[in-house]
Chain A
């Protein structure tokens, strides 16, 4: 009983973690992109020399661009995790796939048996004629 209670909670926790990852990654992409655009603006007055300021902004842009790429890769991993979760836990789709496959196999089985039955009937007719011919000949 306690183990049954643990499973739904872990499922809920997992889906909540997916939601959190999604929101964090989207926010990271948007925030870092916005900050890069803001940093591109050239300021007239700076606290340090222009060279130092340019160097610092250059480094900041690199870091923010790396953050955007990291968030993009994290989103790709999230999509991969969602695909795996969908395949394992989307019961309506799994049931539909199983029913569809069962119907295909059942139809193939019926077709095989129908063809065998027709073959049996044709061979029975031929066998009847052959028996008539044999038993009315001198070789019986």
Chain B
């Protein structure tokens, strides 16, 4: 859920770049000797579309934040689960170590040279 909202904000950033680019292309077009009317129409519709999309998306995000934000810091944590998991991994590592020592002892005893 959080990633979707952050991703949509990144799309908004790209749209802002498109807005500026379209504005520049539209202003540049009349300076040419031969105007491309269809290009102008496309760029203009893209410009207005992007501007309204940017405005509606950012308004929606601000409206959502007005509903969910409390002004208090979040006090949730994953520390307990991380600690339990770390202890389990330590147990596995200890068992691996002990089995390794047992294996070395058996190999030493079974080595015909000793």
Contact = CB atoms under 8 A, between A and B. Distances in A.
B66 A72 contact: no
Interface string A113-140: 1011001000000000000000000000
Given A93-B1, A98-B76, A109 B71 contact: no
Interface string B24-65: 001100100000000000000001000100110011011011
A68 B23 contact: yes
Interface string A88-107: 11111111111001100110
What size tier do the contact residues of chain A reach?
35 or more
A86 B9 contact: yes
B109 interface: no
Interface string B79-92: 01110110111011
B13 interface: yes
Contact of B66 (A15, A26, A93, A105): A15
Interface centre among A89, A92, A116 (most CB of B within 10 A): A89
Instruction: Say whether chain A's binding surface is mostly helix, strand, loop, or mixed.
Output: helix
Given A83-B6, A86-B5, A92 B68 contact: yes
Nearest to B59: A22
A82 interface: yes
A90 B66 CA distance: 10
B89 A90 contact: no
Given A8-B71, A15-B62, A105-B78, A119 B84 contact: no
Interface of B: 1-2, 5-6, 9, 12-13, 16-17, 19-20, 23, 26-27, 30, 47, 51, 54-55, 58-59, 61-62, 64-66, 68-74, 76-78, 80-82, 84-85, 87-89, 91-92, 95
Given A105-B78, A105-B84, 8 more contacts: A33-B47, A69-B20, A86-B5, A86-B9, A91-B68, A91-B74, A101-B81, A106-B81
